[in-house]
């Protein structure tokens, strides 16, 4: 993609800043013990762009597995999602 003119550069920069805010807004908290779930919300701002996010983390009954997911939406209307799985030993 070829960027032409200062306006295009500013729009792309603003989208990039919103992406940083989106990543920062997704919470990643760990449950206190086996069989527990944490639901969390976060907000973030980065160089004039804002985002809100939510996340959920579950720790298995045996305490070894963690499953996590998160989503965020930015002030530009972009959305982001992630999923993670971890094993503790």
Residue 76's CATH number = 3.30.1300.30
Range of the domain at 53: 6-87
Q: According to the model, what pLDDT value does residue 63 have?
A: 97
Q: According to the model, what pLDDT value does residue 11 have?
A: 65
Number of domains in the chain: 1
Q: According to the model, what pLDDT value does residue 14 have?
A: 85
Q: Per the domain annotation, does 1 fall within a domain?
A: no
What is the distance, to the nearest Å, from the Cα of residue 21 to the centroid of all Cα atoms in its chain?
Answer: 8
Q: Can you give the pTM of this predicted structure?
A: 0.81
CB 61 within 8 A of CB 39: no
| Mean pLDDT of the region 9-38 | 91
Distance from C-alpha of 26 to C-alpha of 40, rounded to nearest angstrom? 9
- Write the pLDDT tens digit of every residue in 34-82: 999 999 999 999 999 999 999 999 999 999 999 999 999 999 999 999 9
């Amino acid at each position: 993609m070829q960027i032409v003119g200062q306006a295009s550069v500013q729009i792309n920069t603003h989208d990039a800043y919103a992406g940083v805010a989106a990543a920062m807004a997704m919470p990643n908290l760990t449950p206190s013990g086996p069989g527990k779930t944490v639901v969390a919300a976060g907000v973030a701002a980065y160089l004039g762009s804002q985002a809100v996010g939510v996340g959920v983390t579950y720790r298995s009954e045996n305490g070894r597995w963690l499953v996590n997911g998160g989503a965020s939406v930015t002030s530009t209307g972009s959305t982001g999602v992630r999923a993670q799985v971890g094993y503790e030993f």
